[in-house]
């Protein structure tokens, strides 16, 4: 790698970012602390988040090192096709805002296990709560800590294990302030994330332009398409080396919808941002997040493609390989970040840390929410006071981070961490989404059917992975989903008994004209992108 040191000016820029976030977070905590001793106030920031705070927090919780490092690495290896996770998410968010959020708010849902408990049974809720806690800690928190520490090691020379510990401590401090602090500091985090990310894009495109005799970022963008045409296709054909990761039309009209709807609509650490707001505010926040989603591939995927083009031209021959001589796509973003001029490197570095810490805080808060309200209160202390549940939540934050710190170093052997996250989260996705989808929209769905789905999702996914490894994991996800839905329908019809049903008011599915306009604009942009880069 290049000499991995920050200039004193970079440290000044980063210190300014840290001070602003810490001071703003403390101010929010002091100003809005009145409700922080209640579970609704601490875990959901009930009634205090504005639409722009909800939208920014959704993105800040979603975007992390897995995007800056992992998705940029996939941009290096695969190309623009990896952007489908982001661009299809924008469309998914519209569906969630229209159909999912009204049901949660109408039924006063605070956690996803609570929904399952009220719709099905405590057993189904507890089983899924355990699955979610394991996934959040051992897949999400660990992968973010690993990628964040890898980035710090490559860009500053900081010891890998020290970096893991430092990131965890920073995130714990933010998380202990509650959802109010997380939500409002996420606005600052997203602003820094976008500015710092654009700085790296500016560098990468200018480097490509300079290398080939062009001039400026637009020239660099045109040269990227000219020099790496295979990296500018959204739909990969069969036979493509990475078809198993992004299998053709599956990403557009297939199981990608299942993956995204589950992530954005049935995922505690995402949907939690909207559960404390009124319907209008929640929808505006989600629409704002959808617009921000369109920008993410520009920030994280283009630098990866630029690094691929430059690597193909003989640059970064030592920077892109590990100690064994293996090319590591996840090194692409840190390699570019190291080349930024002083001051701007500090801004890009702050953007990376902002993404990591915001995402860690969001996931840790959700771990605390589920553990406190759905595990501790129900099975350890049914009479626990609101204040005690908040204290238990804070202990859960620290405990989950300690577990993640212990496991994160084990991920060093991965080639593309982003794909690792997507694949192993998909073991739970088909069952979880089937349970929610049928539970919301089919009255006949029974508790026994939901329990069967919860028990089947991991064994079926595992069987497909090892018995039919040639099937792309998104296709596997789709097949498992279809099988589970068939089981659920069959069991429900055989039982022939009335099921508990959540309250649905069809009038709540109507949206305001401004939302319709925003949704049409987003769909138009997506249509243009997929048409141009098919």
91-104 pLDDT, tens digit per residue, is: 999 999 999 999 98
pLDDT confidence of residue 289: 92
- Residues 133, 404, 362, CA angle at the centre, nearest 5°? 60
pLDDT confidence of residue 413: 65
pLDDT confidence of residue 1: 43
Q: How far apart are CA 184 and CA 46, in angstroms?
A: 13
Q: Strand, helix or coil at 533?
A: coil
| Four-residue CA torsion sign, 70, 71, 76, 81 | positive
Yes or no: say if 17 and 351 are a contact pair by the CB < 8 Å rule.
no
Q: How far apart are CA 350 and CA 533, in angstroms?
A: 31
445 closest CA partner among 502, 483, 509: 502
pLDDT confidence of residue 157: 76
In a domain, 288, yes or no: yes
In a domain, 487, yes or no: no
Q: Which residues pair with 321 in a beta bridge?
A: 327
pLDDT confidence of residue 488: 94
Split into its structural domains, the chain has a count of 1
In a domain, 411, yes or no: yes
In a domain, 492, yes or no: no
pLDDT confidence of residue 211: 86
Q: How far apart are CA 533 and CA 235, in angstroms?
A: 8
pTM of the model: 0.85
Q: Which residue has the tokens 């039919």?
A: 468
DSSP string, 490-511: HHHHHH----------GGGG--
Yes or no: say if 59 and 289 are a contact pair by the CB < 8 Å rule.
yes
The two tokens of residue 321 are 């390989």
**What angle do the packed helices 142-156 and 160-175 form, to 10 degrees?**
120
Q: Count other C-beta atoms under 10 Å from residue 314's C-beta.
A: 8
Q: How far apart are CA 37 and CA 360, in angstroms?
A: 22
115 closest CA partner among 433, 507, 511: 433
In a domain, 352, yes or no: yes
Q: Which residue numbers in the chain have pLDDT < 50?
A: 1-4, 34-35
5: left (phi over 0), alpha (psi -120 to 50) or beta: beta
Yes or no: say if 21 and 188 are a contact pair by the CB < 8 Å rule.
yes
Yes or no: say if 238 and 467 are a contact pair by the CB < 8 Å rule.
no
CATH number at residue 261: 1.20.1730.10
H-type alpha helices, 176-278: 179-211, 217-227, 250-253, 256-265, 268-271
- Rounded to the nearest 10°, the torsion over CA 339, 341, 342, 343 is -110
In a domain, 157, yes or no: yes
Q: Count other C-beta atoms under 10 Å from residue 305's C-beta.
A: 29
In a domain, 461, yes or no: no
pLDDT confidence of residue 430: 92
In a domain, 222, yes or no: yes
Q: How far apart are CA 150 and CA 161, in angstroms?
A: 9
DSSP string, 335-377: HHHTTSPTTHHHHHHHHHHHHHHHHHHHHHHHHHHHIIIIIIH
Q: Which residue has the tokens 């004209």?
A: 513
Q: Give the domain range for residue 234.
A: 8-29+50-425+504-532
């Amino acid at each position: 790698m290049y000499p991995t040191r920050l200039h004193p000016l970079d440290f000044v820029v980063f210190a300014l970012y840290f001070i602003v976030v810490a001071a703003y977070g403390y101010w929010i905590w002091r100003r809005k602390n009145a409700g922080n001793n209640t579970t609704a106030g601490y875990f959901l920031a009930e009634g205090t988040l504005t639409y722009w705070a909800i939208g920014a927090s959704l993105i800040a919780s979603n975007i992390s090192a897995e995007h800056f490092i992992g998705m940029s690495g996939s941009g290096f290896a695969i190309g623009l096709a990896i952007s489908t996770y982001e661009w299809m998410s924008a469309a998914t968010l519209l569906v969630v805002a229209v159909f999912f959020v009204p049901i949660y708010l109408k039924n006063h849902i605070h956690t996803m296990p609570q929904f399952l408990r009220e719709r099905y049974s405590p057993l189904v809720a507890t089983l899924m709560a355990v699955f979610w806690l394991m996934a959040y800690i051992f897949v999400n928190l660990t992968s973010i800590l690993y990628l964040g520490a890898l980035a710090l090691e490559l860009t500053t020379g900081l010891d890998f294990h020290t970096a893991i510990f430092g990131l965890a401590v920073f995130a714990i401090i933010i998380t202990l302030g509650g959802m109010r602090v997380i939500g409002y500091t996420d606005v600052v985090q997203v602003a820094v994330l976008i500015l710092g990310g654009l700085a790296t894009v500016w560098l990468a495109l200018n480097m490509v332009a300079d290398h080939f005799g062009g001039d400026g970022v637009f020239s660099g963008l045109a040269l990227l398409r000219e020099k790496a045409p295979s990296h500018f296709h959204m739909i990969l054909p069969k036979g493509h080396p990475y078809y198993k990761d992004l299998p053709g039309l599956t990403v557009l009209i297939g199981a990608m919808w299942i993956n995204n709807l589950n992530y954005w609509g049935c995922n505690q650490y995402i949907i939690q941002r909207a559960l404390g707001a009124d319907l209008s505010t929640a929808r505006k926040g989600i629409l704002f997040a959808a617009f921000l989603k369109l920008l993410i591939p520009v920030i994280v995927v283009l630098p990866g493609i630029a690094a691929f083009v430059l690597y193909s031209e003989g640059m970064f021959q030592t920077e892109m390989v590990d100690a064994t001589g293996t090319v590591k796509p996840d090194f692409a973003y840190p390699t570019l970040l190291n080349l930024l001029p002083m001051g701007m490197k500090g801004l890009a570095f702050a953007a990376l840390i902002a993404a990591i810490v915001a995402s860690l805080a969001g996931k840790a808060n959700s771990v605390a929410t589920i553990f406190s309200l759905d595990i501790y209160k129900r099975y350890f202390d049914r009479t626990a006071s609101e204040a005690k549940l908040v204290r238990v939540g804070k202990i859960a934050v620290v405990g989950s981070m300690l577990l993640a710190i212990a496991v994160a170093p084990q991920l060093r052997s991965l080639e593309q961490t982003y794909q690792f996250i997507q694949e192993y989260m998909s073991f739970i996705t088909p069952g979880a989404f089937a349970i929610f989808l049928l539970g919301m929209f089919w009255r006949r769905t029974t508790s026994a059917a939901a329990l069967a789905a919860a028990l089947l999702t991991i064994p079926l996914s595992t069987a497909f992975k090892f018995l039919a490894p040639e099937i792309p994991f998104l296709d596997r996800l789709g097949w498992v989903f279809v099988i589970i839905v068939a089981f659920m329908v069959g069991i429900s019809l055989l039982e022939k008994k009335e099921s508990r049903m959540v309250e649905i008011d069809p009038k709540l599915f109507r949206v305001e004209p401004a939302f319709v306009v925003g949704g049409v604009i987003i769909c138009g942009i997506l249509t243009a992108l997929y048409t141009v880069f098919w």
